[in-house]
Amino acid sequence: MKFERESFTLRSQMAVLCMVFVVLGDTLAYAPQSSVSPGRPGGVGGAGGVGGNRPSTVSAGGQNALGNRTHNPQDCGGTPYPNRATADRFGGASRGDSLARSQGSARQQITRQGGNLSPSRPEVREPSLAQRARTLASLGHIGSLSTHSREVAGFPFGSMMPYAVDERGRPVFLISSMAMHTQNLLKDPRASLLITQPDVSGEPLDAPRVTLIGTAAEVPAAEVRELYLSRYENAKLWQDFTDFAYYRLEITGVYFVGGFGVVGWIAAKDYESARPDPLVDAAARIIQHMNADHAARSRL
């Protein structure tokens, strides 16, 4: 019986000793291994981890000086300790700490991007002058045509001119040979068309306008009739008169004014290759609908 008690005591001591080693091993495994102080000759922590004079630096989650795998839950993708007490015990970070770090990083990122805590938005590129000019030309219906006067040599002659633009932004006119501007064009085809934003309210000089400069020449009706009549259906009543013909302005240069401080010349090739706003024809209806049916929701 005495032998059994001694054997039981021995087994208990062995079990306690094993538990001590387990806890000690866990502590060493979870202890931060980001750096080890410089070692002394013959001590662990020197060059090669055996006894040099340089500090042994070990990255978290890598291997320590003894070649054992280490783990640091502060690594990206690591698992934080479940509570503050455990974190303090093993020198790591709790879940709350990780969440605070994540929120802090997010705040710093948002602050760097915009200076406030609002979500970052993708950058919206401003349309070029060529795109804005093409949009305005597509939006308008009536312009001011300037030709060289045949009767008063050397002076410009202005006319109100309905027009339609083709796929390259070139304006098309349906004009009578008896009109003064047509006679001017037959003598000198150089002309310009001034287009302003329709239905301007407020200061007119704040509204955009564009001047298209080029040479006007007659074009076959088959090429442009459908385009022009899609804008001016009533023109079919006189398009078959013998004195009416279609003219098109071939663009040489473009000058755009978008308001105060927004001005510039546009090369003809840039203007013709630009694309107008795809919503230009529906913009007025969309705005009217939003104001009429969704005013409360769209209030800024």
What is the domain partition of the chain in residue ranges? 2-114, 129-277
Using a cut of 0.75, tell me whether the model's pTM lies above it: no
Tokens, residue 19:
């538990």
In whole angstroms, give the CA distance from residue 256 to residue 264.
Answer: 6
In whole angstroms, give the CA distance from residue 298 to residue 288.
Answer: 12
Q: Using an 8 Å Cβ cutoff, are 254 and 116 in contact? A: no
pLDDT tens column, 31-54: 444 444 444 344 333 333 334 444
Q: Where are the beta strands (DSSP E) in 82-182?
A: 142-148, 156-162, 164-165, 171-176
Q: Choose among 28, 33, 67, 65: nearest CA to 49.
A: 65
Least confident of 86-100, 167-181, 230-244: 86-100
Tokens, residue 210:
């564009």
Q: Using an 8 Å Cβ cutoff, are 31 and 74 in contact? A: no
Confidence at residue 277, expressed as pLDDT on a 0 to 100 scale: 87
- Give residue 280's pLDDT band: very low, low, confident or very high (50, 70, 90): confident
113: how many CB neighbours lie within 10 A of its CB? 12
Give the CATH architecture of domain 129-277. Answer: Roll (2.30)
In whole angstroms, give the CA distance from residue 230 to residue 134.
Answer: 18
**Average pLDDT of 5-20?**
50
